[in-house]
Amino acid sequence: MSPEALTGLAGARTRRFPDARVSHFVDLDTRLRKFESAKVERLLALLRDFPDKIVVFTQFRMTQAHLFRVLSQAGDPAALFHGGLSRLEKEQAIRAFQGQTRILLSTESGSEGRNLQFCHAICNFDLPWNPMRIEQRIGRLSRIGQTRDVHVFNLVSAGTIEADLLHLLEAKINMFELVIGEIEMILGNLDEEREFEDIIFDLWAQSEDEDQFGRRMEELGRRMIDAKQAYLRQHEYDDRLFGDRFAPKE
């Protein structure tokens, strides 16, 4: 897989905060609107530069519908795939994508149970805060039967939570070079009862400013490096212990 970091901020979940935090949320909303527009323009540029079939993942149906309108107006219509479709409508969307339609706009439901090995690229228009969801998206394409490298394009803007998260996943643990399934083992070594996106959200919500949030993300990055190294040590030990014992005989 070859990750491509591009120039966004996915919506933060709501939560009660003291009044001192309200202005931070207002500023966040303003930045969200600005970044969303920039991401759409960057997506259009990506689609002009990358002519092959591509799955564009969004987290929200409203975002998906907006992108569908924008792409249609740009003369590059897409097939829609989301959980609200009937089984027949989902099959029709996949058939259209297998045919002449080169873009599939999909919500998270498209990352579950669908094999899309005939496609070789995904674009995360919204970057999930849980890396296992990112892996699930990639896993729809990077499966047995895939004959080419899978390109992964991540749309993020500098100075956002998603940019910090992408740095954490790419620079710290090289997530996009991992084998499918390894990220779960690494996260398991963090010894956290919370979901990963809850860890990220709590770090952000409890930080007084971006500098403090950055320092806390760096500390999380060090923990993830340790967790990856622990996984690799265990993997190496298992290889020495079992070797080819369970390998299929020719």
Where along the chain do its domains lie? 2-241
Cβ atoms 126, 10 nearer than 8 A: yes
Question: Quick one: pLDDT band at residue 70, thresholds 50, 70, 90?
Answer: very high
Average pLDDT over residues 221-241: 88
Residue 190 in tokens: 């963090």
pLDDT tens by residue, 19-41: 444 444 445 444 555 667 889 99
pLDDT per position as a tens digit, 120-165: 999 999 999 999 999 988 888 876 556 678 899 999 888 888 899 9
pLDDT surpassing 80 at residue 8: no
pLDDT averaged over every residue in the chain = 82
pLDDT at residue 82 in the model: 92
Residues 76-113 have pLDDT tens digits of: 999 999 989 998 999 999 999 999 999 999 998 765 66
Q: What local confidence, expressed as pLDDT, does residue 24 receive?
A: 46
| pLDDT greater than 80 at residue 185 | yes
CATH code for the part of the protein at 2-241: 3.40.50.300
